[in-house]
Amino acid sequence: MKRAAITGIAGQDGTYLARGLLRRGYEVHGLLQFPFDREEPVLRRRYPADEFHAVRWMTGSLEDPFSLVRFLKAARPDEIYHLAGLTDSRQSFLVPEESVLSITLGTLRLLEAARELCPNARLFLASSAEVFGVPAETPQSETTLKQPATPYGIAKLAADQFGRLHREKYGQFVTVGMLYNHESPLRPPNYLSRRLSLGVAAIKRGETKELQLGDLSAERDWSDARDVVQAMWLSLQAAQPDDFVFASGTPKRVEEFVATAFRAAGLDWREFVRTTPRTDAQQQVTLGLCGNPHKAETELGWKRQWSFDAMVADLVQAELENRSELERANPAATPLPL
């Protein structure tokens, strides 16, 4: 039986990944940021009882190398999926030092602990499209110039570089996955996708008549989270470690996301959406971020199940149906016919 260790197991990606690995027959060890008693209610809502009891839960922090050592000693993993760390690039402007501590130093500590305790383990490092900053070219590939424009992106690039260093100098199997936006019904309400789907459902039910949003002209490359975690797993089954872009390859404007969400509920977005101009001086890159997934598709055999329209429709349907956390967290969910 293969053993997998997952940092950030309580998040969207960690949940889908853990449940998918359990179904593949893995022994799964998960690192929680907060004490188990605090995390347990949410975890129990996302896992069926047998899967919940199958996971070996442990609490630890990326800022505490000793907890990482204890985690890896207990797990003795064949595969390590590093998904933990600060995830909001906008917040990183407010806490740049915390971003470096959590993302860069946290990754380095994990790499060093793995090098000492389980040198043959295969590691996946979850990176971000934000390492490209204002893109030097569109679409971006694994060889595109990286010039991050946020503290988050800078910290991610430094973490990736440590991963490459360990791969080249120490012979560790370290794969870096540059992840573009990927959504699911598990997103918390502070994300645009969830806020939008909640708003559409509320309008459809007659609970409100308006949804206020910001700039609709920004572009993103959106995929479904369930496809992306499949790519993570495939990358650690490859013969050699490498860098991969995990993206759809098709940029979409926020306006298209909004229109698709309202259309999934049989509504015209223009009747209900009110926009406000951007006022935050610390804006994210809004144009040009689009990944080229060709390498992942050809070398890993990665195939996406979810189209953009199917993904957005599923987000809206989850709110209209008031799906349970357990249903939302199903890694084997498939797109409904449109």
Tokens (6 digits) for 195: 């806020």
AA identity, residue 68:
L
AA identity, residue 310:
A
pLDDT at site 209: 94
Q: Which residue reads 């999934």 in tokens?
A: 264
Catalytic entry in 26, 152, 184, 223: 152
User: 266 vs 257, 260, 317, CA distance in Å?
Assistant: 14, 10, 12
Which residue ranges form the domains of the chain, and what is each CATH number?
Answer: 3-182+223-246 (3.40.50.720), 184-220+251-290+303-328 (3.90.25.10)
Please give the Cα distance from 146 to 135 (Å, whole number): 8
Tell me if 82 sits within 8 A of 124, measured CB to CB. yes
246-263 residue pLDDT tens: 999 999 999 999 999 999
Catalytic, 184? Answer no
Q: What's the rounded mean pLDDT across residues 109-137?
A: 97
Q: Which residue reads 């996946």 in tokens?
A: 124
Read off the pLDDT band of 99 (50, 70, 90).
confident
CB atoms within 10 A of CB 330: 18
In the chain, pLDDT over 70 holds for what percent of residues?
95
CB atoms within 10 A of CB 117: 16
Q: Which residue reads 């070398």 in tokens?
A: 299
pLDDT > 90? residue 30? yes
Please give the Cα distance from 268 to 266 (Å, whole number): 7
Please give the Cα distance from 202 to 198 (Å, whole number): 6
Read off the pLDDT band of 282 (50, 70, 90).
very low
As a dihedral over the C-alpha atoms of residue 185, residue 189, residue 194, residue 196, rounded to 10 degrees, the angle is 160
pLDDT > 50? residue 187? yes
Please give the Cα distance from 59 to 49 (Å, whole number): 20
pLDDT at site 276: 85
In the chain, pLDDT over 90 holds for what percent of residues?
88
223-243 residue pLDDT tens: 999 999 999 999 999 999 999
Catalytic entry in 130, 183, 219, 319: 130
Chain centre to alpha carbon of residue 94:
21
Catalytic entry in 128, 193, 197, 223: 128
37-92 residue pLDDT tens: 999 999 999 999 999 999 999 999 998 999 999 999 999 999 999 999 876 666 66
Q: What's the rounded mean pLDDT across residues 278-287?
A: 59
Catalytic, 130? Answer yes
Catalytic, 152? Answer yes
pLDDT > 50? residue 179? yes
Tell me if 29 sits within 8 A of 71, measured CB to CB. yes
Q: What's the rounded mean pLDDT across residues 103-120?
A: 97
Q: What's the rounded mean pLDDT across residues 166-181?
A: 98
pLDDT at site 280: 55
Tell me if 140 sits within 8 A of 290, measured CB to CB. yes
Please give the Cα distance from 125 to 80 (Å, whole number): 9
Tokens (6 digits) for 283: 């804006």
Please give the full DSSP string across 22-91, using - where no structure is assigned: HHTT-EEEEEESS-HHHHHHHHHHHS-HHHHHHSEEEE--TT-HHHHHHHHHHH--SEEEE--S---HHH
pLDDT at site 225: 98
Read off the pLDDT band of 125 (50, 70, 90).
very high
